[in-house]
Structure 1
Amino acid sequence: MKEHGIETKPGGILLDLDGTLYHGTKRIEGADRLIDKLKEWRLPYRFVTNNSSAAPETVAERLNAMGIAAEASEVCTSAQAAAEHIARLKSGAAVFIIGEAGLIRAAEEAGLQVVEEAPDFVLQGIDRELSYARLAAAVRHIHNGATYVLTNPDLLLPSETGLMPGAGSIGAMLTAAGGQEPMLIGKPSPILMDYALDKLELTADETWVVGDNLATDIAAGKASGCGTVLVLTGLTNADNMESYASIAGCRPDAVCANLDELISYISSSTGI
């Protein structure tokens, strides 16, 4: 354990996924035990992901396939948070979507109108079948006054064949051509975290954020006012932590080398 620790005990946990509970399709050691313990302790939690392409049911299925117990109701995605945020700004808003099935479904479930012309918002996530014509349409809508909303800023996505462009890479093109900085929803923005806090029905000062990425997970937790725990199970390790902390401009409240250490830290902090 490093850093100064968290003074308040957790009333709930917001958990990152990739790099924290799994790598690709491989479960990280202790991920199953962590979820089992949270259930045993009746400590509420949510899985929080920047992924906008998959519906919560799909995310839960992937976790269960890796032996990590999960239900769709426990998943919070950037697509859900983006759709709900737009609906709060303008109920029944018209949205032009660059994205996949998870994003379209989230928009429809939030009562938004998915349109091709005259949108109030351009809502963009990852789209692995994106065409130039669709990019051009989005740029036209932005120049015509549509507000540009980006689900998440991730520039790269891991795949079995190597790194692929993420939603943030598409966003870089739209920002350059549209001339409008997007409204950012996913980590490190607090909007996704606030959405997850609403689902937990907890305040930020009652909640811990756990993740492996200082620039997204920890930065988002800090922006929301949550306690933050960095786990050295993914992007960040003992050798690069200081470098990443400098780049991210933030530090975690606590650091755990692995998930079993995290289980012990939560146990000692709650007195369970």
Structure 2
Amino acid sequence: MAGRLADKAQEVVKEEYDKAKLLLNDAARSGSYMYPIKGIFYLISHPELWKPLRSRLLPYLTLYSSVLGSMFFFTYLPQLAVMAFANGPLAVFTTALLILNESSTITGILSKNYVLQDAILDTFDGTLLARNKGDVVAEGREVKTRGDSIQRLGKALKKPFRCFSINELIRYVMYLPLNIVPVVGTVTFLLLRGRSRGESVHDRYFQLKGWTSSKRSKWLKDHKGPYTAFGTVATLLEMIPVASIVFSFTNTVGAALWAADIEAKESHMAGSTAPELREAAKKAE
């Protein structure tokens, strides 16, 4: 009996290892983890995209400082006492990392639903316009013919960004105990948060393309590795105190750059396939 259980345990471990290896390979081949970094440099080199960020900077910083200060004041010592049992001396750092993540999550929930929603929407659409994807943006809002990529943005006809759901909160609370496990638990927690974060980065793109819920789900399932990689890097950047708002926008820019590249690839594939289909039709005649 014990031998069978041991064999079964080894089989499960191997299966999970193979899944993780495949996920990492997909992420590495896609290069998606670079898009949050590309977003930083693209935002720096395109000053017109700073406008939505500047307009919401003060309200966000006020919110973030209030949340972060309150979390450290009220929850650091209680969480440190719990983490010390498993992490020992490292608990000082892992607890601080945990609170940064918690503060980032709380601020993200509040800001993206009340403070930053329209600004992030404008940044995503503006980046697509800057990448000459006006036909895609026109599916979800009015697009003017003159001005820079932000000035050309007209009235939004669709607003895709999902409000925070109770399911996200439940998942976040479920993941928290992983931080008790030294190092490995914290890394796993960040990866799970990254996967959740990655699933929402192209909500706007999917809406502009008119994708159904089933098509969206299938796409995310088929590209789980790349989206987890993007989401993990984005989560780490947004955990940086004070600068998190800047990275919220650079991550949005990075997501839009990725969407533009996906769009360009699909257009190229469609363009190269059409002549082949026409040639096949002629031969059939």
TM-score (norm 1): 0.28
Q: Which has the larger radius of gyration?
A: 2
- Specify which structure has the bigger relative contact order, considering alpha-carbon pairs within 8 angstroms and separated by 6 or more residues: 2
TM-score (norm 2): 0.27
